[in-house]
Amino acid sequence: MTIARALTIAGSDSGGGAGIQADLKTFQELHVFGMSAITAVTAQNTVGVQGIYPLSVEAVLQQIDSIGLDLGTDAVKTGMLFSPEIIYGVAAKIREYAWTNLVVDPVMIAKGGSKLLQDEAVAAMKNELFPQALVVTPNMPEAEVLTGMTVRTLDDRKEAAKRLVDLGVKHVVMKGGHEEGTSQIVDLLYDGSAFVEFPSHKVLTRHTHGTGCTFAASITAEVAKGSSVIDAVAIAKNFIHAAIEDSLELGAGHGPTNHWAYRQRLNASAESRKKGRLE
């Protein structure tokens, strides 16, 4: 049996809902062996970010080498990268190991407003990481920073996606979680020639801590298993939707999503099919 492997290069969220913790839980749920290189340790919970402690560039790159020189990986996801120095180093390592299944979640700001990426790191991300990316997954505020344009409507998101493909990105998923005044959320996939829409109803909940990390980690896991990007996004959309719908109601603020909800639903439907056959 071949075992699909995925590496996340991201920040640690002590609260367990976002960052490295969300990524590894998601990889595991999708039957992918998860590995990590931590860029920064955050003291964080559902209420906010209480502290950010970036690691040295050397410490980040050594973790990547430990994986590159031994275990190898089938896909890589980047999340919170914090500084231009970390981005330059990470981009060089990804090039060195010729890791082409790269999913870049351009994490900038946590739900409470804390900065997880320095302003001067945006250019490094665009110049060094985007040209190597198979998929980039901006939310609407991130798309605005990356393109310099206002992103409110679906047409704005289509224009922003085109601008990101012009930077060398192969696929853009423009997430719609921040769209206001709608009962539907449409995530938009663009591959440089066509748009595919992934609609779902909007779950009315405040428990959306780490939705972006979990969504991008699901895409990474599916790509690691050999799925096409379009199939990976379809599964990721179902994974995050189940995780938001069956939320755990933890903490006093924006609680985490339920990383086992997708598997629980798959098991339940397999069980009822089995029962149907026996009856």
Ligand X SMILES: Nc1ncnc2c1ncn2[C@@H]1O[C@H](COP(=O)(O)OP(=O)(O)OP(=O)(O)O)[C@@H](O)[C@H]1O
Q: Does 130 bind ligand X (CB under 6 A)?
A: no
Distances (CA, A) of 87 to 39, 47, 93: 10, 28, 10
CB 226 within 8 A of CB 30: no
- Residue 61 or 110: the one with the smaller Cβ distance to ligand X is 110
When asked if residue 213 is in the footprint of ligand HMH (CB under 6 A), the reply is yes
Closer CB to ligand HMH, 241 or 254, in the complex: 254
Instruction: Output 36 or 101, the one with its CB closest to ligand HMH.
Output: 36
**3-state secondary structure at position 2:** coil
Residue type, 184: Q
| Distance (Å) of CA 165 to CA 156, 170, 172, 184 | 14, 6, 7, 26
Q: Could you confirm whether 93 is annotated as catalytic?
A: no
Task: Judge contact between 185 and 177, C-beta under 8 A.
Answer: yes
- Asked if residue 211 binds ligand X (CB under 6 A), the reply is yes
Query: Which of 212, 215, 222, 261 contacts ligand HMH by CB under 6 A?
Result: 212
| DSSP of 107-170 | --B-TTS-BSB-GGGHHHIIIIIGGG-SEE---HHHHHHHHSS---SHHHHHHHHHHHHTTT-S
Residue 208 is among the residues annotated as catalytic for this protein:
yes
Partner from ligand HMH, ligand X, none binding residue 42, C-beta < 5-8 Å depending on class: ligand HMH
Dist CA 201 CA 254 (whole Å) = 19
Q: State both tokens at 121.
A: 């790191």
The minimum distance between CB 267 and ligand HMH, in angstroms, equals 27
Of 89 and 256, nearer to ligand X (C-beta) is 256
178 binds ligand X (CB under 6 A): yes
Nearer to ligand X, 61 or 146 (CB): 146
Whether 72 is a known active-site residue: answer no
Site residues for ligand HMH, 7-26, by CB under 6 A, read: 10-11, 13, 18-19
Active-site hit among 175, 176, 214, 255:
175
- Catalytic residue, chosen from 210, 220, 237, 257, is 210
Catalytic residue (one of 11, 15, 212, 255): 212
Could you give the CA distance from residue 146 to residue 78 in angstroms, rounded to a whole number?
16
Q: How far apart are the first and last CA of the chain?
A: 34
Among 177, 196, 246, 251, binds ligand X (CB under 6 A): 177
Q: Which stretch binds ligand X (CB under 6 A): 60-68, 93-101, 162-170, 197-205?
A: 197-205
**All residues at 6 or more sequence positions from 123 whose CB lies less than 8 Å from its CB, including other chains:** 84
Token pair listed for 90? 């990470």
- Count interface residues toward ligand X (CB under 6 A): 22
* AA identity, residue 114: S
Where in 49-108 is the site for ligand X (CB under 6 A)? none
Question: Binding of ligand X at residue 200 (CB under 6 A)?
Answer: yes
By the criterion CB under 6 A, which residues form the site for ligand X? 18, 111, 139, 175-178, 185, 187, 200, 202-203, 208, 210-213, 215, 237, 240-241, 244
Q: Could you list the active site residues?
A: 175, 208, 210-213
